[in-house]
Amino acid sequence: MSTYNPDGWVIVKITYDEKVGYRIFADWAGSYLYGASWKLSSGITDIVEEDEEYVITNYSGSVYYCRKTAQGRLGSFGMSVLKNAQDEHGEENFAVVDIKEVNLGSVA
């Protein structure tokens, strides 16, 4: 099981063949030695809201510790990757949604 603490993140609602799933698109700013990076999670299975963050578990067993203040705050590299994915799949099939809109009961 891996754990992640992204610098910025959004929830992506992915629709494919009438099936709906939610994933975390996360990015990290990088540093002098390491460049910026991004990750798309395997699919959200559980969300626990805490005071300052959401603890989000995924199908792979990975856990993302997502600060509430970092939601929607992607860097320019992450925004570029996200925009390319939306252009390729269509924004209606790769939509950014607020975490409050996630309905895990609807995931197929």
Give the tens place of pLDDT for each residue, 3-51: 999 999 999 999 988 899 999 999 999 888 889 999 999 999 999 999 9
Name the residue with tokens 């910025």. 8
Domain residue spans of the chain:
3-101
Burial of 17 (0-12, 13-18, 19+ CB in 10 A): exposed
pTM given for the model: 0.90
Instruction: Please report which helix (H) or strand (E) contains residue 88, including its range.
Output: helix 76-89
Angle (CA) 30-98-15 rounded to 5° is 95
Distance of CA 107 to the CA centre of its chain: 15
Q: What integer best gives the mean pLDDT of the chain?
A: 93
